[in-house]
């Protein structure tokens, strides 16, 4: 089945996005970047076709320079789950298939770079006041002018699996930050009874479609709350899901069916089953709710048996297809849940259900060059389209159901230790998590890079320690500024020895320029001392801090000051720290404007050195905003006097906004037992292995 469809695409449709299986040609749908090829790549590895995997991977690498450099509009949601997810999964499978990988793999590699490239092109969509993304971006120009702010709930909340993995693999937290910010926004805008609507205005947070359900338009948001929670150990996400689940059971569930209700009042509005609802039993099984999952999957399978497929909408009371939504585009959700449940229960009924699905697709949808969308499940008329998810998801899940020895089913009983220049990593130890497009992510590999990136932060911090920003701005002499910088970093008040050292430095400078007129020396500066202060609380959202200011003022002791370059900019250095006693240690003032300054007007710009300390995994990690504030300094100077313009979403503004978004989570010291995927009992979300007897049972 897979190869009939795959060969049809390669022979008749490549390099277009999708195959048209009735006319045996291709067409572009989501972005004109050979979507089916990327979406199907990891399926080749799952099925053991390493030769074709190598060929396609090399083809993508050869085209990587201009692969996404196109002036086209693309769906943010679809590009993320299909392209970013597909590239990440294929990147993590390269070594397993026998490809030669670079020494820094899995934390670097050409496919990872491709995934990062396209993900960065999606970032402008997240530059909204609410944090919820627009639905469309242009790959060259960002969010199109006039783009509608209305998007579906799933289009807002389905990013944490891919973007969280990308942040840990690359070391850039921006991806995880935008994903978490969007998730939290949806939580904020839920109704008073705890339900979500189907479409929302990302600018205002106003719901434009009030029907609440678990299926189309919402589905993968709930899925990612569960998967994101144990992928990255974020209890906040699982707690959100549990709260939603309570309201779903209370307002939407009827006799093991899930209907649609008004998000504000809770009354049933549409007594429909949608084909996208079929993912829900898989999520239930992952959380151990097997009884409820089996009852629901039985209902869904009965619909399949009635028509030979699941229509997009099915009227439950009437037991008939909902008019206008009678098609079946070869969706994977039903077989996806069957795979999860079979792994948990080994119930032979589920194997029989899988056989029913295979036989129906072969009988109804097969064409001479692929498999076609079923236009109407009642008479089995076909439509000239084969979506990429048929190769990425449907055939993959069917294959996994009947291949119990596949490496993706590893229950944690074995893994492989690899040696990298940056340390040792245990990979392929099970615990794969599938994104909503069925692209498996190796959690151990993601953790390997995440831990390594934390080590690299120490190197980066050393760079910050020795970074002489004052010298780069031509404000102070090298030796003097370096001494001051160290004291600022260490948050210590200068000792008498330090003051004497700086005084000697100043005298050395005077000796070198003793021929200069008296009072004209530019070698000396007033010293800056900082009072000691404690680090801030671990709770980023409830911190309470005060600031101690070192303001510029005229020296009352006729001390020499340094002269800054034109334009005349008064620089106030501010140190932010928690509340301190009313009486503070004496503070020296630094006037960075020379006495001979000839400008008539000066611009006063404040640079704040952030003294915040985040606590992560028991380690304190200082964070500094100085570099960004330097950029803001020059930005404010160059834009002075300009009128405000209507601002388009941009990555620059997004980074400024994300400075206050936390991705430091409060972890609970427990391991989630997962009957559907036993390996989650023996592998923590960090890739650490545990013996069965060490697992706490609840």
- How far apart CA 427 and CA 490 sit, in angstroms, is 39
- How far apart CA 164 and CA 658 sit, in angstroms, is 15
Backbone angles phi, psi at 418, to 5 degrees: -115, 150
Q: Is the peptide bond before 320 cis (omega within 30 degrees of 0)?
A: no
**Residues whose CB is less than 8 angstroms from the CB of residue 436 and which lie 6 or more positions away in sequence, other chains included:** 81, 85, 158, 161, 219, 220, 223, 224, 279
| Residues classed as catalytic | 78, 219, 312, 333
Residue 632 burial by Cβ neighbours in a 10 Å radius (0-12, 13-18, 19+): middle
Which of 93, 115, 215 is closest to 164 using CA atoms?
115
Which of 338, 330, 344, 347 is closest to 401 using CA atoms?
338
In sequence order, what E strands does 143-264 have?
A: 150-152, 199-201, 207-209, 211-212, 253-254, 257-258, 260-262
Contact 395, 370 (CB under 8 A): no
Cα 634 to its chain centre, rounded Å, is 30
Which of 38, 92, 93 is closest to 437 using CA atoms?
38
Q: Give binding residues as ranges.
A: 436
- How far apart CA 571 and CA 565 sit, in angstroms, is 12
Q: Give binding residues for Ca(2+) as ranges.
A: 436
Buried b (16+ CB within 10 A) or exposed e, 233-251: bbeebbebbeebbebbeeb
Rg (CA), the chain: 30
By residue count, the chain amounts to 698
Contact 374, 327 (CB under 8 A): yes
Bridge partner residues of 548 (DSSP): 575
**Residues whose CB is less than 8 angstroms from the CB of residue 608 and which lie 6 or more positions away in sequence, other chains included:** 547, 574, 575, 576, 625, 626, 629
Token pair, residue 371, equals 């498999």
Token pair, residue 217, equals 């338009």
- Degrees to nearest 5, angle at CA 149 with 148 and 154: 110
- How far apart CA 229 and CA 161 sit, in angstroms, is 10
Backbone angles phi, psi at 186, to 5 degrees: -60, -40
- How far apart CA 175 and CA 228 sit, in angstroms, is 14
Token pair, residue 127, equals 């530059």
Alpha helices (H) along 217-264: 219-231, 235-251
Token pair, residue 530, equals 């900082």
Angle, helices 35-46/50-62, rounded to nearest 10 degrees: 150
Three-state DSSP class for residue 547 = strand
- How far apart CA 355 and CA 622 sit, in angstroms, is 56
* Strand (E) or helix (H) holding 621: strand 619-622
Which of 258, 333, 329, 272 is closest to 301 using CA atoms?
333
Contact 201, 156 (CB under 8 A): no
DSSP string, 299-331: HHHHHHHHHTS--SEEETTTTEEPTT---B---
């Amino acid at each position: 089945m897979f190869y009939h469809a795959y060969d049809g695409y390669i022979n008749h449709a490549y390099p277009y996005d999708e195959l048209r299986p009735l006319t045996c040609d291709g067409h572009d749908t989501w972005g004109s970047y050979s979507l089916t090829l990327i979406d199907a790549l990891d399926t080749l590895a799952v099925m053991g076709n390493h030769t074709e995997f190598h060929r396609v991977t090399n083809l993508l690498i050869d085209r990587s320079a201009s692969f996404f450099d196109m002036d086209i509009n693309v769906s943010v949601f679809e590009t993320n789950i299909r392209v970013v997810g597909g590239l990440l999964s294929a990147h993590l499978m390269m070594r397993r298939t026998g490809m030669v990988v670079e020494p820094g793999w899995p934390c670097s590699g050409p496919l990872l770079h491709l995934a990062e490239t396209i993900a960065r092109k999606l970032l402008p969509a997240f530059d909204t006041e609410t944090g919820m993304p627009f639905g469309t971006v242009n790959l060259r120009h960002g969010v199109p002018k006039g783009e509608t702010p209305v998007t579906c709930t799933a289009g807002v909340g389905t990013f944490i699996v891919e973007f969280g993995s990308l942040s840990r693999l690359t070391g850039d937290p921006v991806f995880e930050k935008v994903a978490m910010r969007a998730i939290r926004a949806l939580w904020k805008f839920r109704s008073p009874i705890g339900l979500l609507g189907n479409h929302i205005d990302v600018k205002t947070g106003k719901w434009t479609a009030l029907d609440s359900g678990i299926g189309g338009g919402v589905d993968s948001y709930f899925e990612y709350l569960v998967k994101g929670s144990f992928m990255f150990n974020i209890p906040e996400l699982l707690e959100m899901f549990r709260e939603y689940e309570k309201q779903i059971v209370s307002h939407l569930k009827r006799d093991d069916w899930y209907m649609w209700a008004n998000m504000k009042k809770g009354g049933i509005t549409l007594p429909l089953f949608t084909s996208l609802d079929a993912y829900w039993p898989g999520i239930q099984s992952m959380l151990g709710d097997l009884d409820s999952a089996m009852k629901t999957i039985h209902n869904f399978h009965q619909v399949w048996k009635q028509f030979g497929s699941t229509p997009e909408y099915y009227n439950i009371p009437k037991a008939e297809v909902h008019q206008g939504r009678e098609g079946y585009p070869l969706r994977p959700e039903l077989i996806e849940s069957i795979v999860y449940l079979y792994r948990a229960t080994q119930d032979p009924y589920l194997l029989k259900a899988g056989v029913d699905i295979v036989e129906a697709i072969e009988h109804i949808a097969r064409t001479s060059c692929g498999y076609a969308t079923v236009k109407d499940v009642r008479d089995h008329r076909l439509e000239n389209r084969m979506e990429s998810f048929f190769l990425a998801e449907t055939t993959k899940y069917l294959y996994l159901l009947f291949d119990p020895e596949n490496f993706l089913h590893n229950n944690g009983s074995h893994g492989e230790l690899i040696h990298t220049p940056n340390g040792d990593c245990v990979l392929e130890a099970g615990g794969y998590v599938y994104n909503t497009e069925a692209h498996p992510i190796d959690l151990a590999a993601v953790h390997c890079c995440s831990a390594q990136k934390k080590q690299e932060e120490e190197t980066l911090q050393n760079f910050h320690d020795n970074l002489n920003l004052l010298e780069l701005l031509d404000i102070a002499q090298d030796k003097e500024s370096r001494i001051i910088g160290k004291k600022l970093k260490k948050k210590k008040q200068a000792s008498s020895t330090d003051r004497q050292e700086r005084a000697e430095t100043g005298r050395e400078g005077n000796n070198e320029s003793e021929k200069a007129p008296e009072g004209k020396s530019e070698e000396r500066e007033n010293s800056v001392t900082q009072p000691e202060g404690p680090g801030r609380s671990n709770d980023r959202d409830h911190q309470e801090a005060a600031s101690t200011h070192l303001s510029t003022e005229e020296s009352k002791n006729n001390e020499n000051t340094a002269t800054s370059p034109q334009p005349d900019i008064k620089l106030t250095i501010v140190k932010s720290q928690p509340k301190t006693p009313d009486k503070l240690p004496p503070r020296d003032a630094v006037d960075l404007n020379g006495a001979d300054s000839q400008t008539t007007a000066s611009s006063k710009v404040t640079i704040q050195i952030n003294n915040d300390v985040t606590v992560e995994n028991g380690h304190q990690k200082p964070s500094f905003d100085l570099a960004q504030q330097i950029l803001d300094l020059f930005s404010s100077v160059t834009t002075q006097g300009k009128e405000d313009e209507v601002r388009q979403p941009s990555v620059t503004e997004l980074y400024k906004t994300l400075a206050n978004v936390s991705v430091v989570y409060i972890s609970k010291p427990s391991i989630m037992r997962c009957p559907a995927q036993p390996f989650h009992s023996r592998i923590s979300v960090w890739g650490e292995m545990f013996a069965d007897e060490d697992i706490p049972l609840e």
